[in-house]
Amino acid sequence: MAVIDHRETRAPFLRLAQRRLFVGGAWVEPRSADTLPVEDPSTGERWAELPAANDADVDAAVRAARDAFERYWQQSTPAQRRAALLRLAEQVESCLDELATIEAIDVGMVRTVARNFGAKALVRNLEYYASWCDKIYGSLVPLPSGGNALDYQRREPYGVVAAITAWNAPLVFLGSKVGPALATGNTVVIKPSELGSLSTLRFAELCQEADLPPGIVNVVTGGPSTGQALVSHPEVDKVSFTGGCATGRRIAETAGRLLKKSTLELGGKSPQLVFADAAIDRAVAGVGLGGLALSGQACAAGTRIYVERPIYDEFVERLLGFCRGLPIGDPLAPGTLLGPLISAAQLEKVQRYIDAAEAQGSTFLCKGERLGGDLASGFFLSPTIVAGLSQDSPVVQEEIFGPVLAVFPFENEEEAVTLANGTRFGLAAGVWTNNLSRAHRVAHRLRAGIVWVNTYGNLPYTVPFGGYQDSGWGREAGREALFEYTQVKNVYVDLSEC
């Protein structure tokens, strides 16, 4: 596998770390002197620093967003919002390769995936929500008084939205949050993950280049304290968060105490059910990629694999061969499919789960190993497939966020559904079967916000995404996201004296 000079590739993007904070349409010096390291997951090198915004920095960004909302954005016409989003989409589309390279060096996402999955998703989301700007309708309610009164509802923006994104797919989350927020007349303050901020800073540059009205998009970088300051700010009206369950709970507690609306897209421990009548070639590839895409660092990763007993041995053997053949290596290199984990801490976390499975006497069909040679300093780990775990094992019950698949046999449909629903998560699930009745029947019984049948991970920007139970609440993407960023006002007009 080829290895590319990351220092040379990173050099043009040092400016992003020097851009500081994006507030009110301009790049401003932070009030805070604290910084965060920028690390390349493929090499382990710390090669830049970003400001860690403090309360005063957050306050400045929120006030800029509030000013933009009050002075012009909430009064903007649908045509104006549509034009702004389309200009921004055009700017992003002109930089797909650049954005993909940034994601590769910043979060370790394979460059081709970052381009075709991440950057293009951002473009399509912006275009999609631009098309909705003039289609956000209220309604008219017939009244018992007949023609003596008029009652209608309006959908109105909340105001200032705090958009807190995760590191595993920053561009995807930008599109699913910024698109509907701006389309519905809100302004946003974005806080990207401290582990993956560079593409969001480039996005802020593109907002400038697209001549977006100042203050409708603001970016502050920082860690948990920055996020807490943003969520708790009295001028923030709505919080949209993508990330882990522990952080999501803290945000929910803060938002609940302050009676702020929130959308939480949290973790998952998603099952894939493979029935004996499934097209096995298709299922093997779909299950493997569904669990290992982004090196397992995906909230919807289907990492609990339940296979009907008659095909279990054959399926597992073929899955093992498929996973062993997945090219792992430098995310900048052509042909790579699996890149590194995000950090040394994440690598250590995944290794702890593997060690725990080994301590439980599990059977490893393949066990994750570090890469050597030129990639030894990066956070690479090959896939693990483990069998023989109990259903109460932490490897089965907890989100690992790494390339670890657990496989189990099942005897019948009832057992499969019971096993699939056996965690506190409920983000996604997969069903592999050629029986149409079973496909619908099982899909309806699974406690998951999205169920894929005979595929896994396909998520058009036009469909809603979100979870049940500990996987969060609210929906992102699709038409449903528009409801997450608007509130209903009822207007009753007495016409009797008019």
Identify the pLDDT of residue 51.
96
Beta strands in 311-417 (DSSP E): 363-366, 384-387, 404-410
Identify the pLDDT of residue 3.
67
CA distance linking residue 182 with residue 74, whole number of Å: 10
For residue 49, the SS3 value is strand
Whether the CB-CB separation of 323 and 288 falls below 8 Å is answered with yes
Identify the pLDDT of residue 391.
97
Picking from 312, 319, 323, 304, the residue whose alpha carbon sits closest to that of residue 393 is 304
Superfamily of domain 6-266+472-489: Aldehyde Dehydrogenase; Chain A, domain 1 (3.40.605.10)
Helix ranges, 2-54 (H): 6-10, 14-18
Question: Residue 382 pLDDT > 90, yes or no?
Answer: yes
Containing 312, the helix (H) or strand (E) segment is: helix 312-324
For residue 247, the SS3 value is helix
Say which amino acid occupies 4. Answer: I
Q: What is the layout of strands, in order, in the sheet containing 404-410?
A: 363-366, 384-387, 404-410, 302-308, 270-274, 428-432, 450-453
Give, in order, the Cα–Cα distances in Å from 257 to each of 225, 232, 246, 313: 18, 9, 17, 52
Q: Which residue has the tokens 């996973």?
A: 323
Q: Render pLDDT for 446-495 as a digit per residue (tens, 0 to 9).
A: 999 999 999 999 999 999 999 999 999 999 999 999 999 999 999 999 98
User: What value does the mean pLDDT take over residues 199-227?
Assistant: 98
Fold of 270-460: Aldehyde Dehydrogenase; Chain A, domain 2 (3.40.309)
Whether the CB-CB separation of 109 and 296 falls below 8 Å is answered with no
Beta strands in 316-427 (DSSP E): 363-366, 384-387, 404-410
Residues tagged active-site: 177, 265, 299, 476
pTM reported for the whole predicted model: 0.96
pLDDT band at residue 279 using 50, 70 and 90 as cut-offs: very high
* Residue ranges of domains in the chain: 6-266+472-489, 270-460
CA distance linking residue 403 with residue 291, whole number of Å: 7
Q: Render pLDDT for 326-363 as a digit per residue (tens, 0 to 9).
A: 999 999 999 999 999 999 999 999 999 999 999 999 99
